[in-house]
A and B are shown apart, each in its own frame.
Chain A
Amino acid sequence: MTHIKEMVIVSGKGGTGKTSLAGALSSLFQGKVIADCDVDAANLHLILQPEEVLQTKEFTGGKKAKIDPERCTKCGTCREVCRYDAISEDFTIDPFSCEGCGACYFFCSAMAVNFSTRLAGHYYICSISGNGRFVFAELLPGEDNSGKLVAAVRNEAREEAVKTGVNFILIDGPPGIGCPVISSITGTHLAVVVTEPTPSGIHDLKRIVDLTHHFQVKTALVVNKWDIHPGYTREMKQYCAEQNLIFLGEIPYETAITKAQKEAKTILDFAPDCAASGSIREIYTKLHEILEEV
Protein backbone atom coordinates (compact mmCIF):
# COMPACT_ATOMS: atom_id res chain seq x y z
CA MET A 1 0.00 0.00 0.00
CA THR A 2 1.25 3.46 -0.81
CA HIS A 3 1.83 6.12 1.76
CA ILE A 4 -1.15 8.44 2.39
CA LYS A 5 -0.41 12.12 1.83
CA GLU A 6 -2.28 14.82 3.68
CA MET A 7 -2.61 18.43 2.55
CA VAL A 8 -4.25 21.06 4.75
CA ILE A 9 -5.64 24.45 3.73
CA VAL A 10 -5.34 27.10 6.44
CA SER A 11 -5.35 30.89 6.61
CA GLY A 12 -4.83 32.44 10.02
CA LYS A 13 -7.33 35.16 9.25
CA GLY A 14 -10.88 34.00 8.60
CA GLY A 15 -12.79 34.59 5.40
CA THR A 16 -9.85 34.65 3.02
CA GLY A 17 -11.28 31.91 0.81
CA LYS A 18 -10.06 28.61 2.30
CA THR A 19 -13.30 26.75 1.76
CA SER A 20 -13.94 28.14 -1.73
CA LEU A 21 -10.45 27.00 -2.76
CA ALA A 22 -10.86 23.64 -1.01
CA GLY A 23 -14.15 23.07 -2.83
CA ALA A 24 -12.66 23.93 -6.21
CA LEU A 25 -9.50 21.82 -5.69
CA SER A 26 -11.51 18.85 -4.51
CA SER A 27 -13.21 18.66 -7.89
CA LEU A 28 -9.81 18.50 -9.60
CA PHE A 29 -8.06 15.89 -7.49
CA GLN A 30 -8.91 12.34 -8.45
CA GLY A 31 -8.85 9.61 -5.83
CA LYS A 32 -9.07 11.51 -2.57
CA VAL A 33 -10.77 11.80 0.79
CA ILE A 34 -11.88 15.28 1.82
CA ALA A 35 -11.99 16.28 5.49
CA ASP A 36 -13.57 19.48 6.81
CA CYS A 37 -11.69 20.26 10.02
CA ASP A 38 -13.32 23.63 10.65
CA VAL A 39 -15.53 21.86 13.15
CA ASP A 40 -16.87 25.07 14.77
CA ALA A 41 -18.24 26.40 11.54
CA ALA A 42 -18.11 23.72 8.86
CA ASN A 43 -19.06 24.97 5.40
CA LEU A 44 -17.50 22.68 2.83
CA HIS A 45 -20.55 20.38 2.76
CA LEU A 46 -22.55 23.33 1.42
CA ILE A 47 -20.44 23.19 -1.75
CA LEU A 48 -19.63 19.51 -1.99
CA GLN A 49 -23.27 18.49 -1.54
CA PRO A 50 -22.64 14.96 -0.23
CA GLU A 51 -24.71 12.30 -1.99
CA GLU A 52 -25.36 10.20 1.06
CA VAL A 53 -24.37 10.13 4.71
CA LEU A 54 -22.90 6.65 5.07
CA GLN A 55 -22.27 6.82 8.78
CA THR A 56 -22.93 9.21 11.66
CA LYS A 57 -20.76 9.03 14.76
CA GLU A 58 -21.13 10.67 18.12
CA PHE A 59 -18.37 12.75 19.62
CA THR A 60 -18.15 12.95 23.39
CA GLY A 61 -16.12 15.83 24.70
CA GLY A 62 -14.59 16.26 28.11
CA LYS A 63 -16.55 15.74 31.31
CA LYS A 64 -18.61 18.44 32.97
CA ALA A 65 -19.59 18.69 36.62
CA LYS A 66 -23.10 19.09 37.99
CA ILE A 67 -24.14 19.42 41.63
CA ASP A 68 -27.01 17.35 43.02
CA PRO A 69 -28.83 19.81 45.30
CA GLU A 70 -30.33 16.93 47.33
CA ARG A 71 -26.93 15.78 48.44
CA CYS A 72 -25.13 19.11 48.59
CA THR A 73 -24.37 20.27 52.16
CA LYS A 74 -23.27 23.71 50.98
CA CYS A 75 -19.91 23.33 52.71
CA GLY A 76 -18.22 25.48 50.10
CA THR A 77 -15.25 23.23 49.33
CA CYS A 78 -16.12 23.07 45.63
CA ARG A 79 -16.15 26.84 45.33
CA GLU A 80 -12.77 26.93 46.99
CA VAL A 81 -11.13 24.42 44.66
CA CYS A 82 -12.69 25.65 41.40
CA ARG A 83 -10.31 27.96 39.57
CA TYR A 84 -12.79 28.95 36.91
CA ASP A 85 -15.40 30.70 39.08
CA ALA A 86 -17.89 28.24 37.65
CA ILE A 87 -19.81 27.57 40.88
CA SER A 88 -22.32 30.16 42.09
CA GLU A 89 -23.05 31.08 45.70
CA ASP A 90 -26.15 28.90 45.60
CA PHE A 91 -24.04 25.96 44.37
CA THR A 92 -25.02 25.58 40.77
CA ILE A 93 -22.37 25.08 38.12
CA ASP A 94 -22.33 27.21 35.01
CA PRO A 95 -21.65 24.65 32.27
CA PHE A 96 -20.07 27.31 30.04
CA SER A 97 -17.50 28.24 32.68
CA CYS A 98 -16.76 24.67 33.79
CA GLU A 99 -13.49 23.43 32.27
CA GLY A 100 -14.17 19.86 33.31
CA CYS A 101 -11.14 19.50 35.56
CA GLY A 102 -13.02 17.50 38.19
CA ALA A 103 -11.61 19.32 41.22
CA CYS A 104 -15.09 19.83 42.70
CA TYR A 105 -15.95 16.18 42.06
CA PHE A 106 -12.84 14.75 43.67
CA PHE A 107 -12.97 17.02 46.73
CA CYS A 108 -16.71 16.94 47.49
CA SER A 109 -17.04 15.07 50.80
CA ALA A 110 -20.81 14.63 50.32
CA MET A 111 -20.34 12.99 46.90
CA ALA A 112 -22.85 15.51 45.55
CA VAL A 113 -21.10 16.19 42.24
CA ASN A 114 -21.92 14.23 39.13
CA PHE A 115 -19.05 14.22 36.70
CA SER A 116 -19.70 12.63 33.36
CA THR A 117 -19.02 12.95 29.67
CA ARG A 118 -21.66 14.34 27.42
CA LEU A 119 -22.41 14.55 23.76
CA ALA A 120 -20.38 17.40 22.24
CA GLY A 121 -20.96 16.88 18.54
CA HIS A 122 -21.30 14.53 15.60
CA TYR A 123 -19.19 13.61 12.65
CA TYR A 124 -20.34 12.25 9.36
CA ILE A 125 -18.82 10.04 6.71
CA CYS A 126 -20.38 10.80 3.36
CA SER A 127 -20.07 9.80 -0.24
CA ILE A 128 -19.52 12.52 -2.81
CA SER A 129 -19.67 12.40 -6.57
CA GLY A 130 -16.88 10.50 -8.31
CA ASN A 131 -16.91 7.77 -5.67
CA GLY A 132 -15.03 9.97 -3.21
CA ARG A 133 -15.42 10.18 0.52
CA PHE A 134 -16.03 13.26 2.61
CA VAL A 135 -15.80 13.54 6.39
CA PHE A 136 -17.14 16.54 8.27
CA ALA A 137 -18.23 17.34 11.78
CA GLU A 138 -20.56 19.54 13.72
CA LEU A 139 -19.56 20.60 17.18
CA LEU A 140 -22.61 21.43 19.28
CA PRO A 141 -22.85 25.20 19.80
CA GLY A 142 -20.48 26.47 22.49
CA GLU A 143 -18.77 23.15 23.20
CA ASP A 144 -15.07 22.88 23.75
CA ASN A 145 -12.53 20.24 22.74
CA SER A 146 -12.72 21.16 19.09
CA GLY A 147 -9.08 20.03 18.74
CA LYS A 148 -10.09 16.55 19.79
CA LEU A 149 -12.93 16.52 17.29
CA VAL A 150 -10.50 17.59 14.56
CA ALA A 151 -8.31 14.62 15.49
CA ALA A 152 -11.35 12.33 15.25
CA VAL A 153 -12.24 13.68 11.80
CA ARG A 154 -8.66 13.20 10.58
CA ASN A 155 -8.55 9.65 11.90
CA GLU A 156 -11.79 8.83 10.19
CA ALA A 157 -10.51 10.35 6.94
CA ARG A 158 -7.38 8.15 7.11
CA GLU A 159 -9.48 5.06 7.69
CA GLU A 160 -11.69 5.94 4.73
CA ALA A 161 -8.60 6.48 2.57
CA VAL A 162 -7.35 3.00 3.45
CA LYS A 163 -10.78 1.44 2.91
CA THR A 164 -11.32 3.09 -0.46
CA GLY A 165 -7.71 2.58 -1.54
CA VAL A 166 -6.76 6.21 -2.13
CA ASN A 167 -3.60 7.91 -0.96
CA PHE A 168 -4.53 11.57 -0.74
CA ILE A 169 -6.43 13.51 1.93
CA LEU A 170 -7.43 17.14 1.43
CA ILE A 171 -8.15 18.96 4.70
CA ASP A 172 -10.06 22.24 4.99
CA GLY A 173 -8.74 23.78 8.21
CA PRO A 174 -10.15 26.30 10.68
CA PRO A 175 -9.06 29.95 11.01
CA GLY A 176 -6.74 31.09 13.80
CA ILE A 177 -3.59 29.49 15.21
CA GLY A 178 -4.95 27.77 18.33
CA CYS A 179 -5.93 24.28 19.37
CA PRO A 180 -8.07 23.15 16.38
CA VAL A 181 -5.53 24.58 13.91
CA ILE A 182 -2.62 22.82 15.59
CA SER A 183 -4.65 19.64 15.54
CA SER A 184 -5.37 20.13 11.80
CA ILE A 185 -1.78 20.71 10.66
CA THR A 186 0.36 18.39 12.77
CA GLY A 187 1.81 15.56 10.71
CA THR A 188 0.46 16.80 7.35
CA HIS A 189 2.74 16.81 4.31
CA LEU A 190 1.84 20.23 3.02
CA ALA A 191 0.06 23.28 4.42
CA VAL A 192 -1.45 25.67 1.89
CA VAL A 193 -1.97 29.11 3.43
CA VAL A 194 -4.66 31.20 1.74
CA THR A 195 -4.25 34.89 2.43
CA GLU A 196 -5.40 38.26 1.13
CA PRO A 197 -3.33 41.39 0.50
CA THR A 198 -4.52 43.51 3.43
CA PRO A 199 -2.74 44.63 6.61
CA SER A 200 -4.73 42.05 8.60
CA GLY A 201 -3.91 39.40 6.01
CA ILE A 202 -0.17 40.09 6.29
CA HIS A 203 -0.26 40.23 10.08
CA ASP A 204 -2.08 36.91 10.35
CA LEU A 205 -0.04 35.27 7.57
CA LYS A 206 3.16 35.69 9.58
CA ARG A 207 1.62 34.06 12.62
CA ILE A 208 0.25 31.04 10.75
CA VAL A 209 3.58 30.56 8.93
CA ASP A 210 5.41 30.68 12.28
CA LEU A 211 3.02 27.97 13.40
CA THR A 212 3.54 25.69 10.38
CA HIS A 213 7.29 26.14 10.80
CA HIS A 214 7.01 25.40 14.50
CA PHE A 215 5.43 22.07 13.61
CA GLN A 216 7.81 21.55 10.70
CA VAL A 217 5.17 21.37 8.01
CA LYS A 218 6.16 22.31 4.47
CA THR A 219 4.24 25.46 3.58
CA ALA A 220 2.92 26.99 0.36
CA LEU A 221 1.11 30.27 -0.21
CA VAL A 222 -1.88 31.39 -2.26
CA VAL A 223 -2.79 35.10 -2.39
CA ASN A 224 -6.51 35.45 -2.98
CA LYS A 225 -7.99 38.70 -4.36
CA TRP A 226 -4.40 39.67 -5.17
CA ASP A 227 -5.47 42.65 -7.27
CA ILE A 228 -7.20 44.56 -4.45
CA HIS A 229 -3.71 45.63 -3.36
CA PRO A 230 -0.87 44.66 -5.73
CA GLY A 231 1.65 46.32 -3.39
CA TYR A 232 0.86 43.99 -0.49
CA THR A 233 0.80 41.05 -2.90
CA ARG A 234 4.38 41.89 -3.89
CA GLU A 235 5.30 42.16 -0.22
CA MET A 236 3.84 38.71 0.37
CA LYS A 237 5.78 37.19 -2.50
CA GLN A 238 8.94 38.65 -1.08
CA TYR A 239 8.07 37.27 2.34
CA CYS A 240 7.56 33.89 0.66
CA ALA A 241 11.07 33.96 -0.77
CA GLU A 242 12.60 35.04 2.55
CA GLN A 243 10.82 32.31 4.47
CA ASN A 244 11.47 29.59 1.90
CA LEU A 245 7.78 29.07 1.23
CA ILE A 246 6.46 27.79 -2.06
CA PHE A 247 4.54 30.48 -3.92
CA LEU A 248 1.62 28.62 -5.45
CA GLY A 249 -0.17 31.43 -7.17
CA GLU A 250 -2.50 34.38 -6.97
CA ILE A 251 -6.24 34.49 -7.60
CA PRO A 252 -7.88 37.70 -8.84
CA TYR A 253 -10.89 39.26 -7.11
CA GLU A 254 -13.93 37.60 -8.64
CA THR A 255 -17.51 38.43 -7.74
CA ALA A 256 -18.66 35.20 -9.39
CA ILE A 257 -17.20 33.30 -6.40
CA THR A 258 -19.97 34.63 -4.15
CA LYS A 259 -22.57 33.89 -6.81
CA ALA A 260 -21.22 30.36 -7.19
CA GLN A 261 -21.47 29.92 -3.42
CA LYS A 262 -25.10 31.01 -3.44
CA GLU A 263 -25.81 28.26 -5.96
CA ALA A 264 -23.75 25.73 -3.97
CA LYS A 265 -21.25 25.29 -6.78
CA THR A 266 -17.51 25.59 -7.02
CA ILE A 267 -16.20 28.48 -9.09
CA LEU A 268 -14.84 25.93 -11.58
CA ASP A 269 -18.33 24.60 -12.23
CA PHE A 270 -20.04 27.97 -12.10
CA ALA A 271 -17.68 30.04 -14.24
CA PRO A 272 -15.03 27.74 -15.72
CA ASP A 273 -13.71 30.43 -18.05
CA CYS A 274 -13.19 33.24 -15.55
CA ALA A 275 -9.68 34.32 -14.61
CA ALA A 276 -10.04 33.00 -11.05
CA SER A 277 -10.86 29.51 -12.36
CA GLY A 278 -7.78 29.66 -14.59
CA SER A 279 -5.59 30.56 -11.59
CA ILE A 280 -7.03 27.72 -9.53
CA ARG A 281 -6.29 25.20 -12.30
CA GLU A 282 -2.70 26.46 -12.43
CA ILE A 283 -2.44 26.12 -8.65
CA TYR A 284 -3.73 22.57 -8.95
CA THR A 285 -1.09 21.69 -11.54
CA LYS A 286 1.66 22.99 -9.25
CA LEU A 287 0.21 21.21 -6.25
CA HIS A 288 0.11 17.98 -8.15
CA GLU A 289 3.84 18.22 -8.82
CA ILE A 290 4.69 19.25 -5.27
CA LEU A 291 2.69 16.41 -3.76
CA GLU A 292 4.56 13.89 -5.91
CA GLU A 293 7.73 14.97 -4.14
CA VAL A 294 6.72 15.42 -0.50
Chain B
Amino acid sequence: MRDMNIAFASGKGGTGKTTIAVNLAFFLAYSQQQVQYLDCDVEEPNGHIFLKPEIHTRTAAKVMVPVIDQDKCTHCGECSEKCQFNALVTLPSNTLLFPELCHGCGLCVRICPEGAIHEGEREIGFIEKGKAIQNIDFVHGILNVGEPMAGPIIHEVKRQYKKEHIRIIDAPPGTSCPVVKTIHDADVVVMVTEPTPFGLHDLQIAVSVAQNLGKPIGIVINRQNGEFPPLVTYLLNNSLPVLMVLPEDIEIARCYSQGELIIKALPLYIDQFMELAVNIGRLLGKTKDRR
Protein backbone atom coordinates (compact mmCIF):
# COMPACT_ATOMS: atom_id res chain seq x y z
CA MET B 1 0.00 0.00 0.00
CA ARG B 2 1.51 3.28 -1.01
CA ASP B 3 0.32 6.62 -2.30
CA MET B 4 -3.39 6.38 -1.81
CA ASN B 5 -6.27 8.20 -0.16
CA ILE B 6 -8.33 6.31 2.40
CA ALA B 7 -11.26 8.47 3.53
CA PHE B 8 -13.35 7.85 6.65
CA ALA B 9 -16.99 8.96 6.60
CA SER B 10 -20.20 7.98 8.36
CA GLY B 11 -23.23 10.17 7.80
CA LYS B 12 -24.19 10.14 11.46
CA GLY B 13 -21.84 11.88 13.85
CA GLY B 14 -20.15 10.18 16.77
CA THR B 15 -20.00 6.69 15.26
CA GLY B 16 -16.24 6.48 15.63
CA LYS B 17 -14.75 7.83 12.38
CA THR B 18 -11.88 9.54 14.14
CA THR B 19 -11.27 6.61 16.49
CA ILE B 20 -10.91 4.16 13.62
CA ALA B 21 -8.94 6.59 11.43
CA VAL B 22 -6.31 7.50 14.03
CA ASN B 23 -5.84 3.91 15.14
CA LEU B 24 -5.40 2.72 11.57
CA ALA B 25 -2.96 5.56 10.93
CA PHE B 26 -0.96 4.48 13.96
CA PHE B 27 -1.07 0.82 12.99
CA LEU B 28 0.18 1.52 9.46
CA ALA B 29 2.92 3.83 10.68
CA TYR B 30 3.97 1.22 13.22
CA SER B 31 4.14 -1.26 10.34
CA GLN B 32 6.80 0.89 8.67
CA GLN B 33 4.49 2.64 6.22
CA GLN B 34 4.75 6.33 5.42
CA VAL B 35 1.51 7.75 6.75
CA GLN B 36 -0.12 11.14 6.52
CA TYR B 37 -3.23 11.92 8.55
CA LEU B 38 -5.43 14.77 7.30
CA ASP B 39 -8.33 15.98 9.42
CA CYS B 40 -11.00 17.45 7.12
CA ASP B 41 -13.58 17.78 9.90
CA VAL B 42 -12.60 21.43 10.07
CA GLU B 43 -15.65 22.44 12.11
CA GLU B 44 -14.72 20.12 14.96
CA PRO B 45 -11.30 18.54 14.34
CA ASN B 46 -10.41 15.95 16.97
CA GLY B 47 -7.66 13.77 15.49
CA HIS B 48 -4.94 15.80 17.22
CA ILE B 49 -6.26 14.73 20.62
CA PHE B 50 -5.17 11.16 19.89
CA LEU B 51 -2.20 11.63 17.55
CA LYS B 52 -0.66 14.41 19.66
CA PRO B 53 1.24 16.21 16.91
CA GLU B 54 3.97 18.74 17.48
CA ILE B 55 2.77 21.56 15.28
CA HIS B 56 5.57 23.23 13.35
CA THR B 57 3.68 25.30 10.79
CA ARG B 58 0.55 27.34 11.06
CA THR B 59 -0.79 29.19 8.03
CA ALA B 60 -3.89 31.26 7.55
CA ALA B 61 -6.57 29.90 5.23
CA LYS B 62 -7.89 32.71 3.13
CA VAL B 63 -10.65 33.16 0.63
CA MET B 64 -10.94 35.75 -2.08
CA VAL B 65 -13.39 38.57 -1.40
CA PRO B 66 -14.12 41.48 -3.68
CA VAL B 67 -12.98 44.97 -2.74
CA ILE B 68 -15.16 47.68 -4.19
CA ASP B 69 -13.69 51.00 -5.19
CA GLN B 70 -16.63 53.22 -4.25
CA ASP B 71 -15.16 56.13 -6.26
CA LYS B 72 -15.26 54.13 -9.48
CA CYS B 73 -18.54 52.31 -8.71
CA THR B 74 -21.52 53.72 -10.63
CA HIS B 75 -24.05 51.58 -8.68
CA CYS B 76 -25.21 50.01 -11.93
CA GLY B 77 -26.16 46.86 -10.05
CA GLU B 78 -24.53 44.44 -12.50
CA CYS B 79 -22.52 42.66 -9.78
CA SER B 80 -25.32 42.23 -7.29
CA GLU B 81 -27.70 41.06 -9.97
CA LYS B 82 -25.31 38.35 -11.17
CA CYS B 83 -23.97 37.23 -7.78
CA GLN B 84 -25.58 33.86 -7.06
CA PHE B 85 -24.89 34.02 -3.35
CA ASN B 86 -26.53 37.38 -2.56
CA ALA B 87 -23.21 38.60 -1.21
CA LEU B 88 -23.51 41.98 -2.92
CA VAL B 89 -26.28 44.52 -2.58
CA THR B 90 -26.43 47.69 -4.64
CA LEU B 91 -27.97 50.74 -3.02
CA PRO B 92 -28.50 54.08 -4.81
CA SER B 93 -25.24 55.48 -3.48
CA ASN B 94 -23.32 52.48 -2.33
CA THR B 95 -22.53 48.82 -3.09
CA LEU B 96 -22.39 46.63 0.00
CA LEU B 97 -20.58 43.34 0.49
CA PHE B 98 -21.64 40.61 2.92
CA PRO B 99 -18.35 38.72 3.19
CA GLU B 100 -19.75 35.63 4.99
CA LEU B 101 -22.01 34.94 2.01
CA CYS B 102 -19.24 35.31 -0.59
CA HIS B 103 -18.00 32.08 -2.19
CA GLY B 104 -14.96 33.77 -3.71
CA CYS B 105 -15.91 32.89 -7.27
CA GLY B 106 -14.56 36.14 -8.72
CA LEU B 107 -17.52 36.70 -11.02
CA CYS B 108 -18.08 40.26 -9.78
CA VAL B 109 -14.44 41.18 -10.37
CA ARG B 110 -14.68 40.10 -13.99
CA ILE B 111 -18.14 41.37 -14.68
CA CYS B 112 -17.94 44.94 -13.33
CA PRO B 113 -18.11 47.22 -16.40
CA GLU B 114 -16.25 49.99 -14.57
CA GLY B 115 -13.38 47.84 -13.33
CA ALA B 116 -14.32 49.04 -9.86
CA ILE B 117 -13.86 45.68 -8.12
CA HIS B 118 -10.56 44.03 -7.36
CA GLU B 119 -9.58 40.97 -5.40
CA GLY B 120 -8.96 41.10 -1.70
CA GLU B 121 -8.48 38.39 0.92
CA ARG B 122 -10.27 37.32 4.03
CA GLU B 123 -9.09 34.88 6.65
CA ILE B 124 -11.64 32.20 7.57
CA GLY B 125 -9.48 29.73 9.45
CA PHE B 126 -6.06 28.16 9.49
CA ILE B 127 -4.08 25.05 8.67
CA GLU B 128 -1.65 23.42 11.08
CA LYS B 129 1.02 20.90 10.13
CA GLY B 130 3.28 18.83 12.29
CA LYS B 131 4.73 15.47 13.23
CA ALA B 132 2.55 13.19 15.30
CA ILE B 133 3.40 10.06 17.26
CA GLN B 134 5.05 7.24 15.31
CA ASN B 135 6.33 9.83 12.85
CA ILE B 136 2.89 10.31 11.28
CA ASP B 137 2.74 13.40 9.12
CA PHE B 138 -0.16 15.45 10.52
CA VAL B 139 -2.36 18.12 8.93
CA HIS B 140 -5.59 19.63 10.14
CA GLY B 141 -7.68 22.62 9.22
CA ILE B 142 -9.64 24.73 11.69
CA LEU B 143 -12.58 26.88 10.67
CA ASN B 144 -12.89 30.12 12.62
CA VAL B 145 -15.95 30.19 14.87
CA GLY B 146 -18.79 32.09 13.19
CA GLU B 147 -17.63 31.30 9.66
CA PRO B 148 -20.17 29.26 7.73
CA MET B 149 -18.09 27.76 4.92
CA ALA B 150 -15.93 24.72 5.59
CA GLY B 151 -15.26 24.01 1.90
CA PRO B 152 -12.30 26.32 1.28
CA ILE B 153 -10.49 25.05 4.42
CA ILE B 154 -11.03 21.42 3.37
CA HIS B 155 -9.58 22.34 -0.01
CA GLU B 156 -6.57 23.89 1.70
CA VAL B 157 -6.01 20.81 3.90
CA LYS B 158 -6.01 18.63 0.79
CA ARG B 159 -3.42 20.79 -0.89
CA GLN B 160 -0.97 19.51 1.73
CA TYR B 161 -0.95 15.94 0.34
CA LYS B 162 2.42 14.25 0.60
CA LYS B 163 3.44 11.94 -2.21
CA GLU B 164 4.37 8.32 -1.54
CA HIS B 165 2.28 8.29 1.61
CA ILE B 166 -0.81 6.44 2.65
CA ARG B 167 -3.13 9.35 3.34
CA ILE B 168 -5.76 8.80 6.01
CA ILE B 169 -8.49 11.39 5.53
CA ASP B 170 -11.00 12.08 8.30
CA ALA B 171 -14.29 13.45 6.92
CA PRO B 172 -16.88 15.55 8.75
CA PRO B 173 -20.24 14.03 9.69
CA GLY B 174 -23.23 14.59 7.44
CA THR B 175 -23.85 13.87 3.79
CA SER B 176 -23.68 17.24 2.07
CA CYS B 177 -21.07 19.40 0.37
CA PRO B 178 -18.23 19.26 2.94
CA VAL B 179 -18.36 15.44 2.82
CA VAL B 180 -18.38 15.44 -0.98
CA LYS B 181 -15.36 17.75 -1.03
CA THR B 182 -13.54 15.50 1.40
CA ILE B 183 -14.11 12.13 -0.28
CA HIS B 184 -14.02 13.44 -3.84
CA ASP B 185 -10.52 12.13 -4.59
CA ALA B 186 -10.54 9.12 -2.24
CA ASP B 187 -9.37 5.78 -3.59
CA VAL B 188 -11.56 4.05 -1.07
CA VAL B 189 -14.19 5.28 1.40
CA VAL B 190 -14.49 3.54 4.74
CA MET B 191 -17.91 4.10 6.29
CA VAL B 192 -17.94 3.79 10.06
CA THR B 193 -21.39 2.96 11.36
CA GLU B 194 -23.10 1.80 14.52
CA PRO B 195 -25.75 -0.91 14.59
CA THR B 196 -28.69 1.35 15.43
CA PRO B 197 -31.60 2.75 13.39
CA PHE B 198 -29.94 6.21 13.41
CA GLY B 199 -26.61 4.78 12.28
CA LEU B 200 -28.20 2.77 9.48
CA HIS B 201 -30.43 5.59 8.26
CA ASP B 202 -27.50 7.98 7.86
CA LEU B 203 -25.19 5.28 6.51
CA GLN B 204 -27.59 4.71 3.62
CA ILE B 205 -27.44 8.37 2.62
CA ALA B 206 -23.65 8.53 3.01
CA VAL B 207 -23.25 5.37 0.92
CA SER B 208 -25.32 6.85 -1.88
CA VAL B 209 -23.13 9.97 -1.86
CA ALA B 210 -20.01 7.82 -2.23
CA GLN B 211 -21.68 5.63 -4.87
CA ASN B 212 -22.66 8.69 -6.91
CA LEU B 213 -18.98 9.58 -6.90
CA GLY B 214 -18.11 6.04 -8.02
CA LYS B 215 -16.04 5.19 -4.95
CA PRO B 216 -15.28 1.70 -3.64
CA ILE B 217 -16.89 1.46 -0.20
CA GLY B 218 -16.14 -0.69 2.82
CA ILE B 219 -17.95 -0.78 6.14
CA VAL B 220 -16.71 -0.74 9.72
CA ILE B 221 -19.30 -1.65 12.32
CA ASN B 222 -18.46 -0.03 15.63
CA ARG B 223 -19.96 -0.78 19.05
CA GLN B 224 -21.45 -4.08 17.92
CA ASN B 225 -23.60 -5.51 20.68
CA GLY B 226 -25.45 -8.39 19.10
CA GLU B 227 -26.36 -8.23 15.43
CA PHE B 228 -28.70 -5.54 14.19
CA PRO B 229 -30.65 -7.45 11.51
CA PRO B 230 -31.73 -4.42 9.39
CA LEU B 231 -28.06 -3.43 9.00
CA VAL B 232 -27.04 -6.98 8.02
CA THR B 233 -29.81 -7.10 5.42
CA TYR B 234 -28.91 -3.71 4.01
CA LEU B 235 -25.22 -4.59 3.67
CA LEU B 236 -26.06 -7.91 2.00
CA ASN B 237 -28.54 -6.40 -0.44
CA ASN B 238 -26.06 -3.76 -1.48
CA SER B 239 -23.01 -6.06 -1.56
CA LEU B 240 -21.13 -3.83 0.86
CA PRO B 241 -18.14 -5.60 2.41
CA VAL B 242 -17.60 -5.41 6.16
CA LEU B 243 -13.94 -4.58 6.75
CA MET B 244 -13.96 -4.73 10.53
CA VAL B 245 -16.25 -5.12 13.52
CA LEU B 246 -15.44 -3.58 16.89
CA PRO B 247 -17.55 -4.68 19.84
CA GLU B 248 -19.24 -2.44 22.37
CA ASP B 249 -16.55 -2.36 25.03
CA ILE B 250 -16.47 -0.07 28.02
CA GLU B 251 -12.65 -0.27 27.91
CA ILE B 252 -12.65 1.28 24.42
CA ALA B 253 -14.93 4.07 25.67
CA ARG B 254 -12.58 4.64 28.58
CA CYS B 255 -9.58 4.82 26.23
CA TYR B 256 -11.41 7.38 24.14
CA SER B 257 -12.37 9.45 27.14
CA GLN B 258 -8.67 9.65 28.05
CA GLY B 259 -7.48 10.58 24.58
CA GLU B 260 -5.63 7.29 24.16
CA LEU B 261 -5.28 5.04 21.13
CA ILE B 262 -7.08 1.70 21.38
CA ILE B 263 -4.23 -0.31 19.96
CA LYS B 264 -1.73 1.16 22.39
CA ALA B 265 -3.89 0.73 25.48
CA LEU B 266 -5.69 -2.47 24.47
CA PRO B 267 -3.28 -4.58 22.38
CA LEU B 268 -5.88 -7.33 21.95
CA TYR B 269 -7.43 -5.14 19.24
CA ILE B 270 -4.25 -4.96 17.12
CA ASP B 271 -5.42 -7.96 15.08
CA GLN B 272 -8.64 -6.19 14.17
CA PHE B 273 -6.74 -3.22 12.79
CA MET B 274 -4.41 -5.49 10.86
CA GLU B 275 -7.48 -7.13 9.36
CA LEU B 276 -8.89 -3.71 8.51
CA ALA B 277 -5.66 -2.78 6.69
CA VAL B 278 -5.65 -6.08 4.78
CA ASN B 279 -9.34 -5.74 3.87
CA ILE B 280 -8.85 -2.19 2.61
CA GLY B 281 -5.99 -3.51 0.47
CA ARG B 282 -8.24 -6.26 -0.91
CA LEU B 283 -11.03 -3.80 -1.66
CA LEU B 284 -8.59 -1.65 -3.61
CA GLY B 285 -7.18 -4.69 -5.41
CA LYS B 286 -10.63 -5.78 -6.50
CA THR B 287 -11.47 -2.32 -7.77
CA LYS B 288 -8.29 -2.24 -9.82
CA ASP B 289 -9.05 -5.68 -11.31
CA ARG B 290 -12.41 -4.43 -12.44
CA ARG B 291 -10.85 -1.54 -14.29
Q: Chain A: residues with CB nearer than 8 A to chain B?
A: 11-16, 19, 39-41, 43, 46, 62-63, 81, 83-84, 96-97, 99-103, 106-107, 139, 141-144, 146-147, 174-182, 197-200, 203-204, 207, 210-211, 214-215, 228-229, 232, 258, 261-262, 264
Contact = CB atoms under 8 A, between A and B. Distances in A.
A16 B18 CA distance: 14
Given A101-B84, A198-B256, A211-B146, A46 B201 contact: yes
A143 B179 CA distance: 10
A14 B12 contact: yes
B-side interface size class: 35 or more
B107 A106 contact: yes
B52 to A, nearest CB: 11
A15 B199 CA distance: 10
B168 interface: no
Given A198-B256, A198-B257, A40 B174 contact: yes
Contact of A200 (B49, B148, B201, B228): B49
B264 to A, nearest CB: 15
Most B C-beta atoms less than 10 A away, residue of A40, A181, A204, A258:
A40
A203 B46 contact: yes
Interface stretch (B204-212, B234-242, B269-277, B281-289): B204-212
A16 B103 CA distance: 31
Contacts of A101: 84-85, 103, 105, 107
Contacts of A96: 180, 184, 212-213
Given A81-B110, A100-B84, A228-B257, A261 B198 contact: yes
The list of the 10 closest CB pairs from A to B, nearest first, reads A14-B13, A15-B14, A101-B105, A40-B174, A144-B177, A176-B43, A179-B148, A41-B202, A175-B13, A14-B173
26 contacts: A15-B13, A40-B179, A40-B205, A41-B175, A41-B201, A43-B12, A43-B202, A83-B105, A96-B212, A103-B110, A106-B111, A141-B206, A141-B212, A175-B44, A175-B173, A175-B174, A176-B44, A177-B43, A178-B148, A203-B44, A207-B44, A211-B146, A214-B145, A228-B257, A261-B198, A262-B197
A211 B145 contact: yes
Contacts of B254: 228
A21 to B, nearest CB: 13
B105 A232 contact: no
B176 A200 contact: no
Contact of B150 (A14, A100, A178, A204): A178
Given A41-B12, A81-B110, A261-B197, A13 B46 contact: yes
B257 A229 contact: yes
Interface string B148-172: 1110000000000000000000001
B104 to A, nearest CB: 7
Contacts, number: 181
Interface string B189-203: 000000011100110
A187 B143 CA distance: 22
A6 to B, nearest CB: 20
A141 B148 contact: no
B5 interface: no
A81 B106 contact: yes
Nearest to B175: A40
B30 to A, nearest CB: 22
Secondary structure dominating the interface of B: loop
Nearest to A97: B184
Contacts of A11: 13
Interface of B: 11-15, 18, 43-44, 46, 49, 64, 82, 84-85, 103-107, 110-111, 143, 145-150, 172-180, 184, 196-198, 201-202, 205-206, 208-209, 212-213, 225, 228, 253-254, 256-259
Given A178-B148, A203-B49, A106 B106 contact: no
Given A14-B14, A178-B143, A261 B178 contact: no
Contacts of B209: 141-142
B205 A141 contact: yes
Most A C-beta atoms less than 10 A away, residue of B177, B180, B196, B206:
B177
Contact of B44 (A43, A182, A204): A204
Contacts of B173: 14-15, 40-41, 175-176
Given A13-B14, A141-B208, A228-B253, A146 B197 contact: no
A46 B177 CA distance: 24
Contacts of A176: 43-44, 150, 172-174
Given A97-B184, A198-B256, 9 more contacts: A14-B14, A41-B202, A81-B106, A142-B179, A175-B14, A177-B43, A178-B149, A179-B149, A261-B197
